[in-house]
Copies of this chain bind each other. A is one copy, B any other.
Amino acid sequence: MSNSIEIPFSTTLMVRDTCLCLHVQRAARALARLFDDALRPAGLTNGQFSLMMSLNRPEPPPMGPVAALLAMDQTTLTAALKPLQRKGWVKVMENPRDRRGRLLSLTTEGKAVLAKALPIWQSTHAMIDGNLPEGGAARLRQDLQALS
């Protein structure tokens, strides 16, 4: 006479084994830890590295396109810029062509930090790449692209 709504354990196992969201979140956490550890001597997290690298352009981009490139909420980008501004690695200035907007650029010091981090990224990425099956990296990137 149980009123409880039970999900069979077999269903749990099926969800665990097939859920792409779970698989991606797990890989995201594991890779984030790996790159965070590797980049720590450079003073960057994986997210800060990706953000700053995306700002290394000929022309300072506004926030919207950067958030879209990183597939993150604009409010997340606003928050993520704070510690980088505080450290003097990123400059946020008003867009003279559209005073609602901001233009993001690396400072000279920011570029130096990024340059120091680049070889760490290279060796870490090469290591991961080597652990994937032949052609796995390219295939993986393509599949992930289809998700976002």
**A-side interface residues toward B, CB under 8 Å?**
3-7, 9, 11-12, 15-35, 46-47, 50, 53-54, 56-58, 69-73, 108, 111-112, 114-115, 118, 121, 125, 128-129, 131-133, 136-137, 139-141, 143-148
Contacts and interface: CB of A to CB of B under 8 A. Distances in A.
* Closest CB pairs A-B (n = 10): A28-B28, A30-B148, A26-B71, A5-B115, A27-B144, A12-B56, A27-B147, A140-B143, A23-B144, A4-B108
16 contacts: A3-B108, A7-B115, A12-B56, A16-B53, A22-B46, A22-B50, A23-B141, A23-B144, A25-B70, A25-B71, A26-B71, A28-B28, A33-B73, A131-B146, A132-B143, A133-B146
A58 B71 CA distance: 38
A20 B111 contact: no
Contacts of A145: 23, 27
Given A24-B31, A121-B15, A9 B71 contact: no
B146 A136 contact: yes
Contact of A144 (B24, B69, B115, B146): B24
A100 to B, nearest CB: 24
Nearest to A23: B144
Q: Which of A3, A25, A136, A141 has the most CB of B within 10 A?
A: A25
Contacts of A5: 111-112, 115
